[in-house]
Chains A and B, each alone.
Chain A
Amino acid sequence: MAKKGDASLYKAFTPIRRRLVFQHFIQWAFWGLIAAIGSGIIWKIISFIIPTLYISNKIAYTGIIVISASLVVAWLMKPHDNEMVKEADKLGFEERISTAYELRERNDAFAKVQRQDTIDRLNNFNPKTIPIKVPQNTILLATSLLLVLIIGFIIPNPQDKVINERMRAKKILTEQLERLNEDSADRLVKETDLTKEEQEELKRLLAQLSDQLRQAQDYRQAIKEISKTEEKIIEMLQKAREQSMTNLGLALSRQEAFRPLGESISEIDAEGIKSEMEKLKEQAKNQNMDDETIKALQSALEQAANELQDGAIKDQLRNIANEIGENLYDDTMNLVGSLDDLEAMLTEMSQNPLMDAQELLYELQDMKNKIALAGNQEIDKSQIAQSDKSGDSNSGSDTLGETPGDNQGSSDQSGQGHDNQNGQGNASQSGQGQGQGRQGSSGIGTAHPEYERILDPKRLGDGGSVSQVKGHKDEEGSSHQVEAGQGMGSLDGFIPYNEVFGEYKRQAMENIERQNIPSNMREWVKAYFSALE
C-alpha cells in the first residue's frame, strides 16, 4: 500500500501486511523443503544407478541451495500491495481494504468515511489470527517424500561397494601422491645416474604423473598413468644407456687392441662383449698382455669414464681403470679379477639399462601395488572365498598368504618373490620359514592333486601378495613384504601355479646369476624356490 495515499491507512495495514508476507515466505520455504526432499530422492535414485560419492553431502548441499533458491524466488514473487489488500479483504473486511486502497488519493466525504471505517476495522483486527499454516496436502506430500528418502537410505545400495572401493582408491591415491611430492621426487631423481637434462625430463614426467594422479577418477586410471610414466622413464633410461655404451665403445675403439670390444659395446652386444672380454682375460692369464696394452686399456677406460656423465657407472669405470693401472706391475690374477669386474659391469650395462633409476622405478612399482590393493578389496574377499573352497582341508592357515605374488620388475634389483604370513624380518630366517610354511599349509602334495591357483606373472600391474627384496647387490639386502592384493582384474588372471612356477623360478635364478639380488638374499631366494619344488 503506497504511503503517499494515507499514512494512517498504511500504518493500520502494516501488521496484516507483515503477517501476509511472513505467510508467503513460510509457504515458499515449505515448497522449497519439498523440492529439496525431491532433489534428495533424485540424488538417491541416481546413486542407485551411478556410483555417487558423498551422497549425503550432495543431498544436504542441494537441499540448502534449493531452499535458498525458493526463498529468493519468494522474495522476487513477494505479493504486491494490490494482491495483499485482496488477500486481507478475505479475512472478513468485505472489500473495505481494497476499496480504501483505490480511494487512497481521494478526499471526498465518502472516501473519508470509507477510509476511516477501514482503519477502525484494521485497528481492531488482531493479525495473529491470520493462520500461518501450510495446507495439509502439502504437509502430506512432504512427509511422503521424506519417507521415500529415508527408505532410500535404508535400502542397501549396490553402488556402495563401488563407492567404498573408490574411497579407498582415493585415500591411497592421496597417500601415494604425497610420495610424489616435490622433495621426494627431487631426491629420487638425484639418485639416478642421469644427465641434468635427463633428470629435468624425469622431474617433468613425475610432475605430470602427479597431476594426472590428482585427476584420476579411479585406481585403474591411476595405475594406467603410472604404467605410462614407467614406460616413458624406461624408454628414456634405455636411450641414456645406449648413449653411454656408445660413448664407451667409441673411446675403446680408438685403441686398435680394443676395437672389437669397443664395437661390441657400441652395438650393445652382450655376447660380443663377453667373448671379447674372455679373450682379454685369456691374454691376461697367459701373460700375453704387455704393459703397453694394459696402459692402453687403462687409458681407454679413463678416457671413456671422462666422457661419461657423473654417476655410479663413471665411478665404477674409473675404479676399474685405476685397478688395472695398479695391477700394471702386480700379479696377473689381480688383472684378471679387474677384467672380471669390467666384464660384469659391461654385461650389466648392456643387459640392465634400468639400473640407473632403480629406486625411482621401485617407488612407482610400489605405488601401483598399493593402489591396486586399495582398489581390489572386494575381489580380494571373493578370492579368499574361492581359495577356501578349493584349498586344503588340513590347513588352518590363511590361503591369501599362500598366493604367490607376481614378478613385476623382475629384471631390476627389486625383484619380488612370494608372500608369507610373516612381516618383515631377517632375510635368511624368514626365507626358510616361508618355504616350509608354504609347503606345509598350501595343500600342494599328495593330499591335493589340484594345484593352487595363483596370479599369472605376465599380467603385470596386477596385485598379489608380494615380498620385495630391497638393496644393492653388494649389500646384504633385506626383504619387505607388501600386501598387494589379488590383482586388479577378474580371477581370470589366476592359473594353476605349476604352470608358472618354472617361469618364476627361471626369472629368480636369472636375477641371482646376474647378481641383481643382494648377496645375502640369494640363498634365501634359492631356498624358497627349492622348498616349492
Chain B
Amino acid sequence: MEITQDTIKSFAQQVESIEKEISREMVGQKEIIRQTLITIIAGGNALLEGVPGLGKTRLVRTIGNVLDLQFSRIQFTPDLMPADVVGTNIITRDQDGNTIFRFQPGPIFSNIVLADEINRATPKTQSALLEAMQEHTVTVGGETRTLPQPYFVLATQNPLEQEGTYPLPEAQLDRFFFKLMVKFPTLDELNDIVNLTTRGTEDKANKVADQRTIMKLRSIAQHVPIAKGVQNYALRLVLATHPDGENPSSTAKRYIRYGSSPRGAQAIISAARIRALMEGRYNVSFDDIRYVAYPALRHRIFLNFEGIAEGRNTDDILGEIIEEMAER
C-alpha cells in the first residue's frame, strides 16, 4: 500500500473517529480504549487485568462492532481443553457418503478473541493460544491454518480470586503486547455508566472502520520516524530493567529478578510510533516512550523476593527506572 502525505495526515483523524465511536458504548476507560487500539493497530495481543464488571467484555465487543471485525469469546475454565479453543478434526461424511475428517474451527478463528479469565485454564490449554498469538496460525492434526487478519487476542484475568488458578507462564506473558490495568471508574464515569445502561436506550456504536482500515493504519504506523536518541532511550530503558545487565538502574538491582525480553523493546517502539500518530505528531517523542513503557513492560519484568516482600508493584518500579533514566 502506498503511503502518501494525505494518508499519514488522516491517521489521527481515523483513530479519533474509532475512539469516539467506541466511547459511545464504553463510558470512561479512555486510556484502556486507546491502549487497546494501539495493540490492535500494532498487531499484538493484550492482557487485561481488572476486577469483574469493569467492561472488559463490552470493550472487546464494541471494538469488534466498530471495526467490523469477527468477535468470539472463550470463557476459560479448568476443564477447558485445547481443542475447545483451537478446534478439532471431527469424523463426518462428505457428499458422496464417504467418512472423512473435517476440521471444526474453534472460537480462536476470529478477528478478535476474548480469552476471559485465561488464568483459570490449565497450562496445557493456555499454551494452545501461544502459536495463535505469536504466529497467527493454528496447527491441528499436522495441518497449519492461518488465522484471519487482523487477529487480536484480548485475555483477561481477575486479580482477586487466585484460588484454583494457573498463573500464566513467563513465556506466555511475553507474547502479550500490552498488559492493561483496568481501573475502577470514577464517580462521574460510574454515574454515566449507570445512566447509559439502566435506561434501556443504549447508544449503539456504528462501524467506522474495517479490516482494510486497520491494516492500512498498521502499515502507516510502521513508517513513523524515530530519532536515534529517542530509540536509544527506549532501548536503554529496557536494558535498565535487567539487574545483571550493563547499565542496570539501582531500582532494578534491588527489586527485579528478570528484566524485559527484547519483545519489550519491540513493543515499546511499535506502540510509541502509533501513539505519536494518534497525538497528531509524525515522529516519536520521549513522552511517547514513557507513555507506552508501562503497558509494554509491566508484565515483562519479574520481581524478586525483596520486591514482593515489600509489596512493590511493577508500575512503581518502572516509574522509578524511568525517573532515573536521563534523556540523551
- Using a CB–CB cutoff of 8 Å, the interface residues on chain A facing chain B are 86, 94-96, 98-103, 108-114, 117
> Assuming the A-B contacts A86-B229, A114-B225, are A109 and B281 also in contact, with contact meaning beta carbons closer than 8 angstroms in the complex?
no
Chain A residues closer than 8 Å to B228, beta-carbon distance: 102
Q: Is the interface of A mostly helix, strand, loop or mixed?
A: helix
Chain B residues closer than 8 Å to A117, beta-carbon distance: 281-282
Q: Tell yes or no: B224 within 8 A of A by CB.
A: yes
- Bound-state Cα–Cα, A112 to B224, Å: 12
Residue pair B230, A95 in contact (C-beta under 8 Å): yes
Would you give the shortest CB distance from B95 to chain A, in whole angstroms?
52
| CB-nearest residue of chain A to B283 | A99
- Bound-state Cα–Cα, A102 to B284, Å: 13
Q: Tell yes or no: B8 within 8 A of A by CB.
A: yes
> Assuming the A-B contacts A86-B229, A102-B227, are A110 and B281 also in contact, with contact meaning beta carbons closer than 8 angstroms in the complex?
no
Q: Tell yes or no: B201 within 8 A of A by CB.
A: no
Residue pair B224, A98 in contact (C-beta under 8 Å): no
Task: List residues of B (197-239) whose CB comes within 8 Å of A's CBs.
Answer: 223-230
> Assuming the A-B contacts A109-B4, A110-B3, A113-B8, are A96 and B281 also in contact, with contact meaning beta carbons closer than 8 angstroms in the complex?
yes
- Bound-state Cα–Cα, A110 to B286, Å: 19
> Assuming the A-B contacts A109-B5, A110-B3, are A95 and B282 also in contact, with contact meaning beta carbons closer than 8 angstroms in the complex?
no
Name the one of B225, B229, B285 contacting A110, with C-beta atoms under 8 angstroms: B225
Would you give the shortest CB distance from B281 to chain A, in whole angstroms?
6
Would you give the shortest CB distance from A86 to chain B, in whole angstroms?
7
Task: List residues of B (1-44) whose CB comes within 8 Å of A's CBs.
Answer: 3-5, 8-9
The 10 closest A-B pairs by CB, nearest first: A99-B283, A94-B285, A114-B282, A99-B227, A95-B285, A98-B227, A113-B5, A113-B8, A113-B282, A109-B5
Between A and B, 5 residue pairs with Cβ closer than 8 Å are A96-B285, A98-B227, A98-B230, A99-B230, A117-B282
Q: Tell yes or no: B131 within 8 A of A by CB.
A: no
Chain B residues closer than 8 Å to A111, beta-carbon distance: 225
Residue pair A96, B229 in contact (C-beta under 8 Å): no
Chain A residues closer than 8 Å to B189, beta-carbon distance: none
Chain A residues closer than 8 Å to B223, beta-carbon distance: 108, 110
Q: Tell yes or no: B287 within 8 A of A by CB.
A: yes
Chain B residues closer than 8 Å to A102, beta-carbon distance: 225, 227-228
Name the one of B3, B8, B9, B229 contacting A98, with C-beta atoms under 8 angstroms: B229
- Bound-state Cα–Cα, A374 to B141, Å: 117
Residue pair A99, B226 in contact (C-beta under 8 Å): yes
- Bound-state Cα–Cα, A113 to B287, Å: 20
Chain A residues closer than 8 Å to B230, beta-carbon distance: 95, 98-99
Chain B residues closer than 8 Å to A101, beta-carbon distance: 227
Would you give the shortest CB distance from A107 to chain B, in whole angstroms?
12
- Bound-state Cα–Cα, A102 to B225, Å: 9
Residue pair A110, B284 in contact (C-beta under 8 Å): no
| CB-nearest residue of chain B to A94 | B285
- Bound-state Cα–Cα, A108 to B3, Å: 9
- Bound-state Cα–Cα, A114 to B223, Å: 11
- Bound-state Cα–Cα, A103 to B287, Å: 20
Would you give the shortest CB distance from B186 to chain A, in whole angstroms?
28
Residue pair A112, B229 in contact (C-beta under 8 Å): no
Would you give the shortest CB distance from A417 to chain B, in whole angstroms?
87
- Bound-state Cα–Cα, A108 to B227, Å: 16
Total of A-B residue pairs, C-beta within 8 Å = 54
Task: List residues of B (273-294) whose CB comes within 8 Å of A's CBs.
Answer: 281-287
Residue pair A95, B5 in contact (C-beta under 8 Å): no
- Bound-state Cα–Cα, A95 to B285, Å: 5
Chain A residues closer than 8 Å to B226, beta-carbon distance: 99
Q: Is the interface of B mostly helix, strand, loop or mixed?
A: loop
| CB-nearest residue of chain B to A106 | B225
Chain B residues closer than 8 Å to A108, beta-carbon distance: 223
Residue pair B225, A103 in contact (C-beta under 8 Å): yes
- Bound-state Cα–Cα, A474 to B282, Å: 113
- Bound-state Cα–Cα, A111 to B282, Å: 9
- Bound-state Cα–Cα, A357 to B285, Å: 95
Would you give the shortest CB distance from B228 to chain A, in whole angstroms?
6
Chain B residues closer than 8 Å to A100, beta-carbon distance: 283
| CB-nearest residue of chain A to B220 | A110
| CB-nearest residue of chain A to B9 | A113
Chain A residues closer than 8 Å to B285, beta-carbon distance: 94-96
Chain B residues closer than 8 Å to A112, beta-carbon distance: 5
Residue pair B227, A95 in contact (C-beta under 8 Å): yes
Chain A residues closer than 8 Å to B8, beta-carbon distance: 109-110, 113
- Highest count of chain A CB atoms <10 Å: which of B225, B281, B282, B283: B283
- Bound-state Cα–Cα, A525 to B281, Å: 109
Chain B residues closer than 8 Å to A96, beta-carbon distance: 281-283, 285
Mask, B249-290, CB within 8 Å of A = 1, is 000000000000000000000000000000001111111000
Residue pair A110, B9 in contact (C-beta under 8 Å): no
Chain A residues closer than 8 Å to B286, beta-carbon distance: 94-95
Would you give the shortest CB distance from A103 to chain B, in whole angstroms?
6
> Assuming the A-B contacts A95-B227, A98-B227, A98-B229, are A114 and B4 also in contact, with contact meaning beta carbons closer than 8 angstroms in the complex?
no
Would you give the shortest CB distance from B163 to chain A, in whole angstroms?
47
> Assuming the A-B contacts A102-B225, A109-B8, A113-B8, are A95 and B3 also in contact, with contact meaning beta carbons closer than 8 angstroms in the complex?
no
- Bound-state Cα–Cα, A113 to B8, Å: 8
Chain B residues closer than 8 Å to A99, beta-carbon distance: 225-227, 230, 283-284
Chain B residues closer than 8 Å to A109, beta-carbon distance: 3-5, 8
- Bound-state Cα–Cα, A115 to B3, Å: 16
- Bound-state Cα–Cα, A459 to B163, Å: 112
| CB-nearest residue of chain A to B287 | A94
- Bound-state Cα–Cα, A117 to B3, Å: 17
- Bound-state Cα–Cα, A100 to B286, Å: 15
Name the one of B3, B229, B283, B287 contacting A114, with C-beta atoms under 8 angstroms: B283
- Bound-state Cα–Cα, A86 to B228, Å: 11
**What would 13 more interface pairs be, CB under 8 Å, given A110-B225, A114-B225, A117-B282?**
A94-B283, A95-B227, A95-B230, A95-B286, A96-B283, A99-B225, A109-B4, A110-B223, A110-B224, A111-B225, A113-B8, A113-B282, A114-B283
Chain A residues closer than 8 Å to B282, beta-carbon distance: 96, 110, 113-114, 117
Would you give the shortest CB distance from A110 to chain B, in whole angstroms?
5
- Bound-state Cα–Cα, A102 to B282, Å: 13
Residue pair B281, A94 in contact (C-beta under 8 Å): yes
Would you give the shortest CB distance from A173 to chain B, in whole angstroms?
63
Would you give the shortest CB distance from A14 to chain B, in whole angstroms?
20
> Assuming the A-B contacts A114-B282, A117-B281, are A95 and B229 also in contact, with contact meaning beta carbons closer than 8 angstroms in the complex?
yes
